[in-house]
Amino acid sequence: MDKKLQLTILGIAALFLTACGGSEATKPDVEDKSVGTGTSADTGVSGRPLDARTDLLAKRRVYFAFDSSAVDEENRAIVEAHAAYLAANKNIKVVFEGHADERGTREYNLALGERRAQAVERMAKILGLTGDRIKTVSYGEEKPVAMDHSEAAWALNRRVEIIY
């Protein structure tokens, strides 16, 4: 399982490197002296630093401002990365699961969560994903990831989870 995931990540990395082309792709790998990473004679473990862009695929959550379903630049990059991956892996189906923070009413938040999931869906469709591979659901404010009642918690809870 882990191995498969690793391969996929490498695959995507490659995809992006080719897709993006240019200087970034040809940059030499960054030397990393931190323990357990990079090529180290001390540990005998050989790791391969990944291009920064592939980190986007590790991000499975897209965040939103209060009462908004607008996807900003930073979050757009995450959706684009997943859309590119899914475009290359046509057998995978994806669920966009919309959520809201606890403020306001539960029913309105259910609708808001759906609107957020649909915003991500729309973006993914523009990037080439077909509707039959996408499912959107909303949990409204019912499934927070951060349980306290603070701005920081609310920011984490206003999200769309990209599940595949």
Partner 1 sequence: MKAVRILLKLILMALLAGHASLASAILTIEITQGVDGGLPIAIVPFDGAGKQQPPQDVAAVIEADLARSGRFTPLDKKFFVSRPSEDRQVVYKDWRIVKAEALVIGNVKPLAQGRWQVEFRLYDIYKEKQLAGYSYVVAGNHLRAVAHQISDIIYEKLTGEPGVFSTRIAYVTREGVVKRFSYKLQIADSDGHNPLNLWTSKEPILSPAWAPDGERLAYVSFEHQRRPTLYLQNVVNGARHRIAGFDGINSAPAWSPDGTKLALTLSRDGNPEIYVMRLSDSTLTRLTNHPAIDTEPSWSPDGKEIAFTSDRGGKPQIYRMRADGGKVERVTFEGEYNARASYSADGKMLTLVSGAQGRYHAALLHLHSSVLQVLTDTPLDESPSFAPNGRMILYATDRGGRGVLASVSSDGRVRQLLKLQEGDVREPAWSPFNRSTPTH
Q: Which residues are at the interface with partner 1 (CB under 8 A)? A: 66-67, 102-108, 110-112, 114-115, 118, 136-140, 142-143, 147-149
Distance of closest approach, residue 112 Cβ to partner 1, in angstroms? 7
Which residue's CB is nearer to partner 1, number 27 or number 149? 149
Distance of closest approach, residue 70 Cβ to partner 1, in angstroms? 13
Which residue's CB is nearer to partner 1, number 13 or number 121? 121
Do residues 67 and 88 make contact, with C-beta atoms less than 8 angstroms apart?
Answer: no
**Triad 25, 88, 135: Cα angle to 5°:** 125
Distances (CA, A) of 149 to 103, 116, 141: 9, 21, 12
Distance of closest approach, residue 65 Cβ to partner 1, in angstroms? 13
Distance of closest approach, residue 162 Cβ to partner 1, in angstroms? 16
Task: Retrieve residue 130's tokens.
Answer: 């077909």
Which residue's CB is nearer to partner 1, number 16 or number 154? 154
Alpha-carbon distance 132 to 94, whole Å?
10
Distances (CA, A) of 94 to 120, 131, 145: 11, 10, 20
Which residue's CB is nearer to partner 1, number 114 or number 124? 114
